[in-house]
Amino acid sequence: MIDRGPHPIEPWQLRETELPMDKLAQAESLFALSNGHIGLRGNLDEGEPYAIPGTYLNSFYEQRPLPYAEAGYGYPESGQTLVDVTNGKLIRLLVDDSPLDVRYGELHSHERRLDFRTGILTRELDWTSPAGKRIKVTSRRLVSLTQRAVAAIEYVVEAVDQPVRFVVQSELVANETQPKLSNDPRVSAVLESPLQAVSQDSDDEEVILVHRTRSSGQLMAAGMTHTVECPARTEVDVDVRADWGRTTVVAELQPGESIRVVKFLAYGWSSLRSETAITDQVSAALVGAKFSGWEGLVAQQRVFLDDFWDAADVEVEGNPELQQAVRFALFHVLQSGARAERRAIPSKGLTGAGYDGHTFWDTEGFVLPVLIFTMPDAAADALRWRHSTLRMAKERAEVLGLRGAAFPWRTIRGQECSSYWPAGTAAFHLNADIAAAVDSYHLATGDDTFIKDCGLELLVETARLWMSLGHHDRHGNWHLPGVTGPDEYSAVADDNVFTNLMAARNLRIAASFVTRFPDDARRLGVDTEEEAAWRDAAAAVYIPYDEELGVHPQSEGFTDYAMWDFEAYKDKYPLLLHAPYFELYRKQVVKQADLTLAMFWCGDEFTPEQKARNVDYYERITVRDSSLSACVQAVTAAEVGHLDLAYDYAYEAALIDLLDLHHNSGDGLHMASLAGAWTALVAGFGGLRARAGGLSFQPVLPTGLNKLAFTVRWQGVRLRVQIGQEEVTYDVHDGPDASIAILHEGQEIQVAAGKPVTRAVHPRKPLLPRPTQPLGREPLSALGNTTSTRH
């Protein structure tokens, strides 16, 4: 049984009842707070012990050279790494003459709670110093969802049974020491002292430090101000240096007395604006925060989150652990995107610097499908960020000898940062994934302004890319040789089914929007010939099929490859750390859903029997070394009737970070998998699919789940879906006139406010028996965990 750490299963919070030193990194990620602009890892207030200190500003990065022992044309020369910026979380405490450090003295209790409804991280500790002074500390921390530049900490210290002199040092510290990281390619590059001091300012109240990155030349400011409440006399002192600022509060308290320090933090950065402009911006944010006060910030946070949960909550009856996990997941997805506002949503959000803080296709492929249905404005913002990088994508295409736009495989600011092209640049499907997200967003919202502003251009330029990537053979079939699909244990293959289908879809979507927005299309230089060429290529797309086996090869020839020796590698996962790419690429072994993802995203291109046979085939060779797999396997397993298997995968997707299933949650949480937990439930058991014709549902629950309820936003209406083992009820709640037409099991039904519709749920029989997985790669059993209250 996997150890889930000291986390009781509770529906609306994640609680940690002890502080195990070997799980510090994971806890720092789990308890990270973010609004999509500022990210604070769950480091302890006093800074130490830590695993990875982390304070991040979305898209604030440093450049570093990408080295190549053998360079090649078009290789990116410069990478981007998310910077650990000035740490404002620090509040050190001196208890008489002992610094508060949980590794010394006696820690009677230590508890942290992340409340998904309040958005507040609470910490309570009861500690006796080495010198015998017992104290209690309660700190509460938030990153404001309503005041984007602001975070705040309420810090309360109580003298328990003896008089104590407390010195509270609240700090801003730049260029924190970074731990040495492993050689695992998935972790980030270490930046040594990335910040150069530009200026410092302080008065009795406020401290602001301004720094600049050495190479990327970005400017940032971090500021703090405080309020202090204390029954005794206090003295406050402010000190500042190039790389730190410190507000010191000293007081002597009697037993039972406590001192309360509220720390207001503000951050700002820009690559364009001046030092004074950023300093002013931070100063203003501090004034605003202080004006709201701690209670005001807390109240605003609650209002924001109530609104979010009203339209996003997923209720799961029958599996409390999954219930908690899916809310934890949604909370972090919300945090990653809520206020990103035309900045990227990185694959680990702002919970850690894993993968250098880069954004991949995870955003459009996994995170946006959730945001589109729960917080569509945030989805639009993320796509507007992509559009803001279009110039760079067009330049990249030109370097590569291609037309249109080639978006980067991994980036912070928009430039390609992937140094290994077979699993980077060659994975052009990213561009079709962006186009699909544009289409999905518009389907869900009807937001024509977005299309005119940027959506159409994204579609047109990606379509142009595909036309320059593909070609017709002498029989008129349209091919895409030498590209890399989603599965990273294959690369540079011919006619990857996923890529070919998604490219064709991209071309069709582009053509369709060009028809609907003809004036805007002409402005982009699209004429009817170009449009016709898109439709023609899409219609002629070649999809390999293995007639003998009755399955789709992931790419041309894939099913003729030798099988991977799963037995020999049964203890060696992830395989990428134990086998060369060469061997992985030329054998039948799949890191993550690829053909399976094609069956989800392009489901209409497969017959039910093909889906059943493909699921059966690929389940046996998919090792899920990627966090992007379980959620997709959940959806397709559910669709072909393997409900128990789907349940297991949904559970695994949701628990990925709570159980640290990939052993790297310490570098940051896996946003795509967390978002995928929602998808596994909603698209898997809810059977939700969005089509031009409207929302469609095919609900069914696995044994063990009594109820699954969720809400999706669709064309401005909130549709609540409550699925039981026997029946499903659809309801809308957005004003008295709200009404929506949906498909239930293929039949159109109308749902209006106050008129819920209930329909029977039909059991689903799989065509084939439940497939097996590679030895040692069976999913966790969701059913095995329904009654457990393990700690």
Nearer to a copy of itself, 370 or 423 (CB): 423
Interface with a copy of itself, residue 775, by CB under 8 A: no
Parallel/antiparallel/unpaired status of strands 471-472 and 478-479? antiparallel
Interface with a copy of itself, residue 354, by CB under 8 A: no
When binding is defined by CB under 8 A, the residue of 420, 734, 757, 770 that contacts a copy of itself is 420
Please tell me the count of residues contacting a copy of itself according to CB under 8 A: 50
Taking the complex as a whole, the smallest distance from the CB of residue 599 to a copy of itself amounts, in Å, to 24
Nearer to a copy of itself, 12 or 75 (CB): 75
Taking the complex as a whole, the smallest distance from the CB of residue 569 to a copy of itself amounts, in Å, to 8
When binding is defined by CB under 8 A, the residue of 83, 221, 368, 579 that contacts a copy of itself is 579
Tokens of residue 119, six digits:
């958005």
Cβ contact 140:154 at 8 Å: yes
Interface with a copy of itself, residue 577, by CB under 8 A: yes
Say which amino acid occupies 416: E
Interface with a copy of itself, residue 581, by CB under 8 A: yes
Taking the complex as a whole, the smallest distance from the CB of residue 181 to a copy of itself amounts, in Å, to 13
CA distances from 15 to 3, 138, 743 (A): 15, 15, 40
Taking the complex as a whole, the smallest distance from the CB of residue 185 to a copy of itself amounts, in Å, to 5
Taking the complex as a whole, the smallest distance from the CB of residue 586 to a copy of itself amounts, in Å, to 3
Cβ contact 138:126 at 8 Å: no
Place of tokens 């689903």: 764
Interface with a copy of itself, residue 425, by CB under 8 A: yes
Say which amino acid occupies 241: R
Distance, CA of 718 to CA of 310 (rounded, Å) = 9
Interface with a copy of itself, residue 401, by CB under 8 A: yes
**Phi and psi, residue 389, nearest 5°:** -100, 10
Q: Which span sits near a copy of itself by CB under 8 A: 112-120, 297-305, 518-526, 559-567?
A: 559-567
Distance, CA of 526 to CA of 147 (rounded, Å) = 42
Distance, CA of 143 to CA of 120 (rounded, Å) = 8
Sign of CA dihedral 38, 40, 41, 47: positive
Site for a copy of itself in 167-196 (CB under 8 A): 183, 185
- Rounded to the nearest 10 degrees, what angle do helices 429-445 and 376-388 cross at? 140
Q: Which span sits near a copy of itself by CB under 8 A: 152-160, 289-297, 416-424, 516-524?
A: 416-424
Taking the complex as a whole, the smallest distance from the CB of residue 399 to a copy of itself amounts, in Å, to 8
Distance, CA of 227 to CA of 246 (rounded, Å) = 14
Taking the complex as a whole, the smallest distance from the CB of residue 544 to a copy of itself amounts, in Å, to 11
Interface with a copy of itself, residue 229, by CB under 8 A: no
Cβ contact 727:763 at 8 Å: no
Nearer to a copy of itself, 361 or 441 (CB): 361
When binding is defined by CB under 8 A, the residue of 578, 691, 707, 755 that contacts a copy of itself is 578
Interface with a copy of itself, residue 586, by CB under 8 A: yes
When binding is defined by CB under 8 A, the residue of 306, 398, 473, 778 that contacts a copy of itself is 473
Cβ contact 462:506 at 8 Å: yes
| SS3 letters across 388-412 | HCHHHHHHHHHHCCCCCCCCCCCEC
Taking the complex as a whole, the smallest distance from the CB of residue 555 to a copy of itself amounts, in Å, to 10
Q: Which residues of 350-382 are buried (b: 16+ CB within 10 A; e: fewer)?
A: bbbbbbbbbbbbbbbbbbbbbbbbbbbebbbbb
Tokens of residue 390, six digits:
């279009």
Taking the complex as a whole, the smallest distance from the CB of residue 541 to a copy of itself amounts, in Å, to 14
Interface with a copy of itself, residue 73, by CB under 8 A: yes
Sign of CA dihedral 268, 274, 275, 276: negative
Q: Which residues of 415-427 are buried (b: 16+ CB within 10 A; e: fewer)?
A: bbbbbebbbbbbb
Place of tokens 């990270």: 32
When binding is defined by CB under 8 A, the residue of 210, 282, 326, 400 that contacts a copy of itself is 400
When binding is defined by CB under 8 A, the residue of 43, 188, 281, 418 that contacts a copy of itself is 418
Look at residues 592, 738, 725 and name the one whose alpha carbon lies nearest to residue 652.
Answer: 592
Taking the complex as a whole, the smallest distance from the CB of residue 559 to a copy of itself amounts, in Å, to 9
Interface with a copy of itself, residue 583, by CB under 8 A: yes
Q: Which span sits near a copy of itself by CB under 8 A: 103-111, 224-232, 398-406, 638-646?
A: 398-406
Q: Which span sits near a copy of itself by CB under 8 A: 65-73, 158-166, 686-694, 720-728?
A: 65-73
**Phi and psi, residue 597, nearest 5°:** -70, -35
Nearer to a copy of itself, 582 or 607 (CB): 582
Interface with a copy of itself, residue 245, by CB under 8 A: no
The DSSP secondary-structure symbol of 762 reads -
Tally of CB atoms within 10 A around 615 = 27
Nearer to a copy of itself, 557 or 716 (CB): 557
Interface with a copy of itself, residue 422, by CB under 8 A: yes
Q: Which span sits near a copy of itself by CB under 8 A: 61-69, 131-139, 193-201, 317-325?
A: 61-69
Interface with a copy of itself, residue 580, by CB under 8 A: yes
Interface with a copy of itself, residue 746, by CB under 8 A: no
Taking the complex as a whole, the smallest distance from the CB of residue 587 to a copy of itself amounts, in Å, to 8
When binding is defined by CB under 8 A, the residue of 432, 483, 623, 671 that contacts a copy of itself is 483
Look at residues 486, 465, 492 and name the one whose alpha carbon lies nearest to residue 400.
Answer: 465
- The H or E element containing residue 315 is strand 314-317
Q: Which span sits near a copy of itself by CB under 8 A: 290-298, 450-458, 577-585, 664-672?
A: 577-585
- The H or E element containing residue 711 is strand 707-714
- Any catalytic annotation for residue 488? yes
Taking the complex as a whole, the smallest distance from the CB of residue 403 to a copy of itself amounts, in Å, to 12
Q: What is the length of the chain?
A: 791
- The H or E element containing residue 209 is strand 207-213
The DSSP secondary-structure symbol of 592 reads S
Interface with a copy of itself, residue 479, by CB under 8 A: yes
Rg (CA), the chain: 27
Site for a copy of itself in 539-558 (CB under 8 A): 548, 556-557
Nearer to a copy of itself, 457 or 556 (CB): 556
Site for a copy of itself in 674-733 (CB under 8 A): none
When binding is defined by CB under 8 A, the residue of 108, 241, 391, 471 that contacts a copy of itself is 471
Residues 28, 488, 531, 556: which is the catalytic one? 488
Cβ contact 754:605 at 8 Å: no
Interface with a copy of itself, residue 669, by CB under 8 A: no
Could you tell me which residues come within 8 angstroms of residue 29 by beta carbon, excluding any fewer than 6 positions away?
41, 42, 348, 351, 352, 657, 665, 666, 667, 668, 669
Look at residues 149, 152, 174 and name the one whose alpha carbon lies nearest to residue 227.
Answer: 152
Parallel/antiparallel/unpaired status of strands 739-744 and 694-697? parallel
Taking the complex as a whole, the smallest distance from the CB of residue 653 to a copy of itself amounts, in Å, to 26
Beta bridge pairs of residue 741: 750
Interface with a copy of itself, residue 560, by CB under 8 A: yes
Q: Which span sits near a copy of itself by CB under 8 A: 137-145, 384-392, 476-484, 649-657?
A: 476-484
Site string for a copy of itself, 76-95 (x = CB under 8 A): ---x----------------
Contact residues toward a copy of itself (CB under 8 A) are 66-74, 79, 183, 185, 399-402, 418-422, 425-426, 471, 473-474, 479, 481-483, 491-492, 494, 548, 556-557, 560-562, 568, 576-583, 585-586
**Residues with a known catalytic role:** 488
